[in-house]
Amino acid sequence: MTKIQQLQQLLIKSLKAHDSQKTNTIRFLLSNLSYFAIELHKPVQQLTDADVETVFEKEVKKRKDSIQQFKKGNRPDLVAKEQYELDFISTYLPQKMTEEETKQAVEQLIDSLQIKDKTKIGQLIGQLKATYGNKMDMAEAAKVANEKLTA
């Protein structure tokens, strides 16, 4: 069963349970998946789990940014709503690598590619994306690479 099918079944269950917060979140996600499918000129049912993860990664980034902004604006009600959505979306994403695993992978790749300065950091990040995809936080990887190459 694909992630889209799981979401559609979960939508039905949440509608029956009158769980409006979960229902709204699932509807929003399915809507974003529809827009993504339109961009790719595909029917929604032909989206792969990797496509779903790509859309969900974008949504996670949006939620994290919103949470920061709402905390600055002293809006705990909206922080709670965004946090709920973030937690829900995160259940459908693969487990991210830990900070230590990321650091180790970046350092290993720097050594194997024999990168000595920051001019080749784009090549490094591209290689990391190709190798690890959504499993690694690329912002964290870039931070580790910058620290390693300035030292």
Fold classification of 3-90 (topology level): Hypothetical Protein Yqey; Chain: A; domain1 (1.10.1510)
Tell me if 14 sits within 8 A of 26, measured CB to CB: yes
Question: Please, are residues 64 and 96 in contact by the beta-carbon 8 Å criterion?
Answer: no
pLDDT score of 3 more than 70: yes
Tell me the domain boundaries of the chain: 3-90, 99-150
> What does the pLDDT look like over 93-127, one tens digit per residue?
888 888 888 888 888 888 888 888 788 788 888 88
What pLDDT does residue 27 have? 97
Summarised one tens digit per residue, pLDDT across range 37-48 is 999 999 999 999
Share of the chain above pLDDT 90, in %: 52
What pLDDT shows up at residue 17? Answer: 96
3-state helix, strand, coil in the chain (%, to 5): 80, 0, 20
At the top level of CATH, the class of 99-150 is mainly alpha
Residue 118 in contact with residue 146, Cβ under 8 Å? yes
